[in-house]
Amino acid sequence: MKNNNFKIVSIFAILFLGASFILPAQNYPFMLPKLPYAYNALEPVVDAATMEIHYSKHHAAYVKNLNNAVKGSKYEAWSLDDLMLHAGEAGDAIRNNAGGHFNHSLYWNTLSLNKPFNPKSEVGKAVIAAFGSPDSLKNMLNKAGATRFGSGWAWLYVTTDKKLAVSSSPNQDNPIMDISPERGIPVLCIDVWEHAYYLKYQNKRADYLTAILDAINWEAVNKNYLDALASPLLKSIEKSVKEHPRTMPMK
């Protein structure tokens, strides 16, 4: 009987201790989103090992560090959009980790091996109107990624006047941020940090860019584009531009 009681107490102790580790995470303002596919889903473009490390280590670290950075401050109750709109005020820890969280979430969402460009979609028509062809856009994104010195991102984004534009940014910055010289809502991004490609492509960023630009989920990009056009965030960015005018491009 004593053994049975001990087993019952032990089971409840384990459940309690397990809950004590799990439950606090539910109170964090920012959470790691579920990866929308298996680690090997993008092979051979992105290998499973890179995907697992990139998502479960790098992205997870940005989320953890962001939660730590806002803890106990007024920013703890702010949305991710608001943190980026006030990145200059919020400081480097919030700027870098909020950007890292947003950028990676968008990156996962816009990758797929079987969602090709559709010229009849809304974003397809907008791409052709803005750049002439999907190949022209691809060349611009490739150049933006290839010429970004060091670590950073290449972007396709909706400007405050609801047009499509291409840019790149350093580190974990993005066009939503008040410190960015190019402002708008991103609908597609390419990660050009070395951790995104080094296991497979080593120092050959050009090879990675060529491959990853053929692995875009254009259905997701179309949804992102329509959401951006209707988002009140565009007005917030427009207001932010007036409050934080920038005339020199960031190198």
Domains of the chain: 43-243 (3.55.40.20)
The residue ranges of the chain whose pLDDT is under 70 are 1-26, 246-251
Note the pLDDT of residue 162.
97
Residues 6+ apart with CB under 8 A from 133: 127
Look-up: residue for tokens 């989103």?
33
Q: What is the DSSP string of the chain?
A: -HHHHHHHHHHHHHHHHHHHHHGGGGG-S--PPPPSS-TTTTTTTS-HHHHHHIIIIIIHHHHHHHHHHHTTSGGGGS-HHHHHHTHHHH-HHHHHHHHHHHHHHHHHHTB-SS----TTSHHHHHHHHHHSSHHHHHHHHHHHHHT--SSEEEEEEE-TTS-EEEEEEETT--TTSTT-SS-SEEEEEEE-SGGGTHHHHTT-HHHHHHHHTTSB-HHHHHHHHHHHHH-THHHHHHHHHHHS---SPP-
pTM for the predicted model, two decimal places:
0.87
Note the pLDDT of residue 243.
81
Note the pLDDT of residue 172.
98
Note the pLDDT of residue 38.
98
Beta bridge partners of 157: 165, 186
134-182 pLDDT, tens digit per residue, is 999 999 999 999 999 999 999 999 999 999 999 999 999 999 999 999 9
Beta bridge partners of 185: 158
Note the pLDDT of residue 15.
39
